Amino acid sequence: MSEPSSFSFRVGARLSGGRHGRAGVIATPHGEIATPAFVPVGTKATVKSVLPETMREMGAQALLANAYHLYLQPGADIVDEAGGLGAFMNWAGPTFTDSGGFQVMSLGVGFKKVLAMEAVDVRSDQVIAAGKERLATVDDDGVTFRSHLDGSRHRFTPEVSMGIQHQLGADIMFAFDELTTLMNTRGYQEESLERTRRWAQRCLDEHERLTAARAHRPYQALFGVIQGAQYEDLRRKACRDLEQLRGAAGTGFDGYGIGGALEKHNLGTIVGWCCDELPEHKPRHMLGISEPEDIFVAVENGADTFDCVNPSRVARNAAIYVDEGRFNINTSRFRRDFTPIDENCDCYTCANYTRAYLHHLFKAKEMLSATLCTIHNERYTIRLVDRIRESIEGGYFDEFKAEALGRWQGRIKAPTS
């Protein structure tokens, strides 16, 4: 039997100058995560094309899977029967699941495809491209949506999301929240934030009930999700409101996710507002970032962990991350380039393969192209965040940031660009 105390967070070194950035350690029933940490995404309980053992060898400390996808296929009950997400996918370390909220409201609605992009300057709550059907509808109780697989109708509520996530059995789960966009009106953002607060209370209540009912399983931590788009008062209010919430037996959130609509240039400011308000002793997860600039800014302003699907997604399209930026390995100048992707990288791919070989694999549409490039990009991102953590612990974060971003932003010219 596991007690709630099997989840903890301790803060280590901090950045100077009153900044919120820090190093720390999250302890879960499946092991510890030294923070800041990058959490690779295995959407459907697999990091596409890479073995879990390889993810472990390259230093991944935890993996994140998506509740929406696993609910539709194979079904959360099957993952539960298998002994939970980690056992099902042969990953012994810590796991995260998201709530499914982002997917039901973005995949379901098809935000990127359905939203009329020409209307980007118009603040509206019903911006849908001509000829497209809105596939998800939000009401005060939950969200009704259609599966992207077969069009079948489904409904997520806070209770449904908690039930799915308890069955998936990840060490860290997220409360079910409403995703808004920067195009929503201020009035809608306020209304949505209040709905997310009420849903957060329902998530805590259901989480408390399920934790008691499933006491034979390892403790699962629940993170509240901070919304509020680009509005300082809404972000701050969301943090204070969620930190005050308790279930009937006194359960509060174990940590927080910073989510929702934000623009790149606002990222640090928004994370900073949230971390002004959130308690020091609880971990903070930043949802969906992986670009080096974004990671530095988020860490400096107080984020402890991040997840993003990009390092593996772009790898399958031949895009490679190196310290000097991103380049495509499938362009013809690499046909006879017999050097590694990145001479400074310690990954399996860079130790054993050349740019010419990877170029060939992509041109020949060989499956190994995805595996080798994903290994490099995931290792690159994990190692970058590891180096950031070491720089915080060693007291040289600012120097490391200036050097790394100088390279990334091209002040030091990439040999391959």
- CB 60 within 8 Å of CB 378: yes
Q: How far is the CB of 243 from Zn ion (least distance, A)?
A: 40
Q: How far is the CB of 31 from Zn ion (least distance, A)?
A: 25
Annotated ligand binding at 260? The verdict is: yes
98 DSSP β-pair partners: 66
Q: In terms of Cα–Cα distance, which of 391, 307, 283, 403 is closest to 20?
A: 283
Task: Give the residue with the Cβ less far from Zn ion, 154 or 407.
Answer: 407
Task: Give the residue with the Cβ less far from Zn ion, 54 or 349.
Answer: 349
Q: In terms of Cα–Cα distance, which of 211, 287, 297, 286 is closest to 248?
A: 211
Name the catalytic one among 205, 241, 307, 342: 307
Task: Give the residue with the Cβ less far from Zn ion, 251 or 371.
Answer: 371
DSSP states of 316-360 as a string?
Answer: TTTEEEETTEEEETTSGGGTT--S-S-TT--SHHHHH--HHHHHH
Neighbours of 187 (CB within 10 A): 10
Annotated ligand binding at 250? The verdict is: no
Annotated ligand binding at 359? The verdict is: no
Task: Give the residue with the Cβ less far from Zn ion, 44 or 313.
Answer: 313
Residue 218 DSSP label? P
Active site residue 342: no
Q: Which two tokens stand for residue 396?
A: 């040289």
Annotated ligand binding at 101? The verdict is: yes
- CB 412 within 8 Å of CB 319: no
- Residues engaged in binding Zn ion (CB under 5 A): 345, 347, 349-350, 376
Q: How far is the CB of 355 from Zn ion (least distance, A)?
A: 11
Q: How far is the CB of 349 from Zn ion (least distance, A)?
A: 5
What is the residue type of 312? S
Name the catalytic one among 98, 241, 294, 304: 98
Q: How far is the CB of 353 from Zn ion (least distance, A)?
A: 9
d(CA 146, CA 180): 18
Annotated ligand binding at 345? The verdict is: yes
Residue 406's contacts (CB-CB under 8 Å, 6 or more residues apart) are 412
Q: How far is the CB of 343 from Zn ion (least distance, A)?
A: 9
Active site residue 323: no
**Peptide bond preceding 36: is omega within 30 degrees of 0, i.e. cis?**
yes
| Residues making up the chain, counted from first to last | 417
Which secondary-structure segment (H or E) carries 232?
A: helix 232-244
Residue 338's contacts (CB-CB under 8 Å, 6 or more residues apart) are 354, 355, 356
Sheet holding 37-40, edge to edge: 37-40, 305-308, 284-287, 255-258, 221-226, 172-174, 95-98, 63-66
Annotated ligand binding at 177? The verdict is: yes
Q: How far is the CB of 400 from Zn ion (least distance, A)?
A: 19
Residue 292's contacts (CB-CB under 8 Å, 6 or more residues apart) are 321, 384, 404, 405, 408
Task: Give the residue with the Cβ less far from Zn ion, 65 or 350.
Answer: 350
Task: Give the residue with the Cβ less far from Zn ion, 105 or 373.
Answer: 373
Annotated ligand binding at 102? The verdict is: yes
Task: Give the residue with the Cβ less far from Zn ion, 348 or 400.
Answer: 348
Question: What are the binding residues for substrate?
Answer: 98-102, 177, 227, 260
Question: What are the binding residues?
Answer: 98-102, 177, 227, 260, 345, 347, 350, 376
Question: What are the binding residues for Zn(2+)?
Answer: 345, 347, 350, 376
Active site positions, annotated: 98, 307
